[in-house]
Amino acid sequence: MGSNGQGKSARNEDRWQERKRSSGLAPCPALWFVRCEVFSRWYRALFISCVAVGFRQQTVSRCQVIALKWQKKMAKARILVELRPDKKLLDPQFDGYKLSLENVHSHRSSLPSKPDVVVPSDDQYSFLHTKLFGTHNKLFTDPWTETTYYIDVKWKIHSFDPDTNSFCEVWEVPSHHERQPGHYNLNLAFASPDVVVVTDGAGTLHIVDTQDRSFRARKWGVVFSCSPIGDNKGFVILDSRYYCGELHCMLLHIDELDIEGTEGKKSKFVSVIDWITVEGELNKQPWGVKSLRQMVGGGCIEFASFEPTCTAVFIASDQALKFTSDSENSIIEDNEEPKVKPQIVYSWLQKDDDLTVWVPVATDVSKSDIKVIVTTLSVKITIQGHVVLEGALHQRIDSDLTCWTLSPGKLEIILSKVETGLMWPELIVGCQKGEQVLDPALVEEVHQRLAHLCSDTVETGTNDVAPAYNSQQLEDCDAFPKDTSVLIRLDSKDHSISHKVNLGGHQWLFNSTLSAGSPPAICVRHDVDACVWQIEEMNRDSHVWPITHVGTFSAFGYVQASKQQRKFTVCPPDMSYVAICDSSRHVYLYRQPSAVQSELRNRTTGRRVAQVAKQHLVQLESDSHILGCHATSNYLFILSEEVFYKFMLGN
């Protein structure tokens, strides 16, 4: 029986290939068709059906036209992007970090004046407020010159020169508002090599001309100021970018909304991002606001950045955001009616070699009222002149072996698969009127295979068998985070989510700017490692959103999760090390593996160790709170309430 079945399958395959050759179809249309980035399975199956039945080139051209129309229609559809690490950047033989007793050279500098610190007021009590204030980094770094700045209590901006260990005042933020409850911390963002955006945290946005910032002694000057979201309404700057004569700024504040519920009105805090675009050029007047856009979401903002051409924004949060207003392009509300679940008209069950379909019928239906037409790739069932089921099959069947029987109230059809062992995800392509019934024997087999994973008893591991998984062996740092983040690309033209990355299996760790002018890189956990991904601009032709794996900190995902008192996590642009700063006192340094100069072997295995990854524990002399942290290739800067630390980490 097995050999006959294989012979028949081979003959069917030969007829399939001969049918394609006789139709005169060129391979190019098929190749082009499969490469469509966004395509419906229905149209793909339609094309395969056309080739299978031997349609001519004109039919294939018609399918191309349908594909183009469908591709344009689906251009606004959300494309799911998967983060796949580069195996070349993973080290499965990583042997952990070794605590080093080498001294990390440092230098302490006294601050000209204390840093400005704003604490949440009584009405800023939500978790969103707590995280926004608690993780605010009060050290600001210029990605073009790697100069570090901080703002003091007098609202003066100071730059630090690591060569001379001295501070230099570059500008004083104008005070248009008195500090009141509900305000935010001052912060600044570097939009270009000569433009900086500063906010006083009380509602005013300043655009500052810094000229060439490589000369630290040059003073800054304001060219434009405004209150983009209202007078005395504070915000922080998430990102800014100066592109083609337009300055784009992303501003964040937490707002409280009243939501109607079954128990009346309830208040809810949400994250509100305002996208302001200002037109103007340096040394030319006037500057003016061009457009205002607003996005709202209910979760914490982990990451926000403009696309390099400022046509979209990249946002990571535990809840997706959406546009609520746009002064340039009106927002089209999605008022589609909720989809009604289709009525089930048939059920089906599949095994390795056949499929069984059941269609309910009336008791007065006879065999003469039923007409079943089956081909290799299609099926049509007519009962009493009404078409009950019709469409293209997911895969090929042997129509010669099809049989059906009629019993009271039910029509049963048995279809034989050509590709035996191939499980179908659906019977009719694109049809939602069917319900799949699982094979009881298959369900029982799977249950038996997975029973040990659900056991309530701990295996002893006797008879040289590995013990089963036991949840009691998990540590706290292995627990999956309660909030599952998503990374989205929001388009400014149609206000839709064009791409989405589900970070359900990747815990968010930190962000770091690797190159000036590019969006910050993101670092997420992959198993026990920490993978660094560089986000790039979407390709307009292929609609591909490149997110490239550029580096790995081995086992750092596990290490970072165990640091419960961490406040900041940073790494330099060359990713030579990564640092974790606690809220006070302690700093943990983890270097990339480096070559060992002398002979070193593992005590347990005897294997020669060629590289060692070092870990340093730095203890600050002061117990004051750590307010800011920044990493460069040669230095790690720490800002506390009283002292500025510089750690020398370069080679």
d(CA 47, CA 50): 5
Say if residue 600 is in the same domain as residue 543. yes
DSSP state of 115: B
List phi, psi (to 5°) of 622: -105, 150
Which residue type does 501 have? V
How far the first Cα of the chain sits from its last, in Å, is 72
Contact yes or no for 197/240 (Cβ under 8 A): yes
d(CA 457, CA 448): 16
How many CB atoms neighbour CB 408 within 10 A? 8
Inside any domain, residue 36: no
Inside any domain, residue 497: yes
Inside any domain, residue 46: no
DSSP state of 593: P
Inside any domain, residue 494: yes
pLDDT reading at 479 higher than 90: no
Domain CATH code at residue 561: 2.130.10
The domain in which residue 215 lies consists of 98-328+482-648
pLDDT reading at 56 higher than 80: no
Say if residue 363 is in the same domain as residue 308. no
Say if residue 274 is in the same domain as residue 382. no
Inside any domain, residue 375: yes
Q: How confident is the model at residue 218 (pLDDT cuts 50, 70, 90)?
A: confident
* Cβ partners under 8 Å of residue 617, min gap 6: 99, 586, 587, 588, 589
- Residue whose token pair is 């994250």: 271
pLDDT reading at 176 higher than 80: no
Q: Where are the beta strands (DSSP E) in 11-90?
A: 79-81
Average pLDDT over residues 515-539: 93
Inside any domain, residue 1: no
- How far is C-alpha 167 from the geometric centre of its chain's CA atoms? 39
Say if residue 377 is in the same domain as residue 310. no
For β-strands 301-306 and 312-317, DSSP reports them as antiparallel
107-130, pLDDT tens digit by residue? 999 999 999 999 999 989 999 999
Say if residue 319 is in the same domain as residue 389. no
Confidence (pLDDT) at 64: 52
415-445, pLDDT tens digit by residue? 999 988 888 888 998 888 888 888 787 777 7
* Cβ partners under 8 Å of residue 69, min gap 6: none
How many CB atoms neighbour CB 100 within 10 A? 15
Say if residue 522 is in the same domain as residue 551. yes
128-138, pLDDT tens digit by residue? 999 999 999 99
d(CA 475, CA 472): 8
Token couple for 544: 């591909």
Query: Residue 414: in which H helix or E strand, if any?
Result: strand 410-417
Say if residue 361 is in the same domain as residue 220. no
Confidence (pLDDT) at 227: 92
Say if residue 142 is in the same domain as residue 276. yes
H helix intervals, 74-230: 127-134
pLDDT reading at 605 higher than 60: yes
pLDDT reading at 317 higher than 60: yes
Q: How confident is the model at residue 39 (pLDDT cuts 50, 70, 90)?
A: very low
Say if residue 129 is in the same domain as residue 232. yes
Q: With a threshold of 0.75, does the pTM exceed it? A: no
Which residue type does 504 have? G
Q: How confident is the model at residue 179 (pLDDT cuts 50, 70, 90)?
A: confident
Contact yes or no for 577/588 (Cβ under 8 A): no
Say if residue 283 is in the same domain as residue 310. yes
Comparing 508 with 250, the larger pLDDT belongs to 250
146-155, pLDDT tens digit by residue? 999 999 999 9
Distances (CA, A) of 502 to 40, 51, 172, 508: 21, 36, 43, 11
What is the SS3 string spanning 434-472? EEECCCHHHHHHHHHHHHHHHCCCCCCCCCCCCCCCCHH
Average pLDDT over residues 136-141: 95
Say if residue 322 is in the same domain as residue 287. yes
> Number of structural domains, the chain?
2
Confidence (pLDDT) at 485: 79
DSSP state of 89: G
88-107, pLDDT tens digit by residue? 999 988 888 999 988 899 99
Inside any domain, residue 40: no
Domain CATH code at residue 397: 2.60.40.790
Say if residue 176 is in the same domain as residue 237. yes
- For the purposes of burial, counting CB atoms within 10 Å of the CB of 465, is it exposed (0-12), middle (13-18) or buried (19 or more)? exposed
487-509, pLDDT tens digit by residue? 999 999 889 899 999 887 788 89
Paired with 178 in beta bridges are none
Inside any domain, residue 228: yes
> Percentages helix, strand, coil for the chain, rounded to the nearest 5?
15, 40, 45
d(CA 633, CA 172): 29
Confidence (pLDDT) at 553: 96
